[in-house]
Structure 1
Amino acid sequence: MKQGFSYFCSTLGVTVLSSIFSLSLSASSLDDFNKKPSEKMCLFVEERPDYADCFLSVDDIQLSDYQLVSLDSAVKSEDLRESVLSISGSILPIKSSLKSDNLLIFGQGIERSEEIRLCRLMRQNGFTVSVLQEGSLPLYRKPSIRVSERIKITQPAVILKELMNADPILVLVDQVIPDELAAYSSSIFQVSSSDTFWQEMASLQAMNSFDGLRPIVLIDTDERFSDSLLARISGTDLAGIYLMDGRIDDIVSVMDQRLLIELSKKMDLSRKRCN
């Protein structure tokens, strides 16, 4: 699923700690790099994912042109500004009566692996189907704090699954990247909760998320999640940003050698190139 890496140079004030850099930087230059995060630097940025053709943004379409299908059983149709069908992902691919419809499916927007699987499977079986990139949130008439929290808060188990099967971007707030993860993903960043936090987030999203196609998951130091950070996420114009309910240790603690091997298979550095 992951395609080749290319270097992308920017002035983003984000320190990227990954063992990948040790392949091309000496120890002294890496130290110097980490001491000067605000200066120009090169970040690994992947090419546009090969599954991008499955996804449509709500800003680029007319919802009335589609039959909307919710994969999220918690969504109540009366809360939405469009009429929708509610069908589970396990049943949807066998609903042959829907093959004549132009389907637009959506979940919460974080579980890309399941959305990609459904899109590809259903297209192979003759359905006309796409995925709403932003998930259900923009379809609500007026999302409540409860709804926003249910959609925007995600669990460690979900993130681990997505790391294995898709390509989310993890952003650790005010903490270092664990060695167990640094060696196996190029999409883990660390930022500080400074005055430039949202500026750095906007730059990171612009360079790495393909306008929200790749979800960004913030992981802070709280045992659960920061209420203040959730409020700020809910109020930002940046799309595709989620908050994990837990700490990064909750992911590391369940990672075993098998999972590490699977993660390493996604890191095909032989196809890396530097522009």
Structure 2
Amino acid sequence: MFHPHRQKILVGGRRLLATAIAFFVCAALLAGSRAVFAQETVEVDIPDVTRLEIRGGVEVELTQGDVPALLVRGSQADLDKVPYTATSRGLVLGYSRSHRRESFADVKFRVTLPAISEVHVMGSATVYMRSFDVDDLRLAVAGSGNARLHDIRGESLALRVSGSRDIHIITADVGSLEAVIAGSGDILLGSLSTDALDAVVQGSGDMRVDSATRVDTLELSIVGAGSVDLAGVPARRAEVNIVGSGDARLGELQDELDVTILGSGNVLYAGNAEKSTTILGSGRIDRRDE
């Protein structure tokens, strides 16, 4: 004999069983995900190095302190692979000697060093550097990496971007600054204090300085279609060389301006500096009124 109410009870039981199974499966998945994404932090003893190389897609915070120190944060699986190498030549982050093809994009580093002379950013890594006194610092970014700096003080600072990403500096107070772009990357500076500025753009990259104290000597070279905006940088003397269709905006110039343009480049400047120009092509130089 057919009993409809028994069928309903059976169906309800199946639904309860399915719900219970789903609950336990979800709980297991959540527990597994917590295990996978659990973050651990380890402290590593490192030698007193002055050279830093950053690889892959890791994130690095660089600070100044009396005692060298390295903090590494990531999953236990990544930490077990030792995603760093310290040698007498320097510190390499985002690279494992035993797992050379491994990606450590989820690993974060905090480095404390008494002094730094070279920082190389490779791949898609990002470095943050804050409140650092340097003698001579060379910072190079290659590939799709980024560098963010704030309150850098020292004798000389050399910046180089090769690829498509950028260097951002909020404030810098240095005796001399050399900034080079090779490719389509950018170098952007907020507030700059320096005696000498040497800027080079090779390709289609952009360079900008928002404000600066008066620069004694300004040298600018553009090869290609790059753009340099130094309208906020007053200078005593300036020399500009453009090959191609690049554009340059200069601040108030006091004494001398020497411009050479080969192609269709443009120069816009302010001030009453004595001007010397050589133009081959359709390029032009104009003075703007303040």
TM-score when normalising by structure 2: 0.22
* Larger relative contact order, structure 1 or 2 (CA cutoff 8 Å, min sep 6): 1
Q: Which has the larger radius of gyration?
A: 2
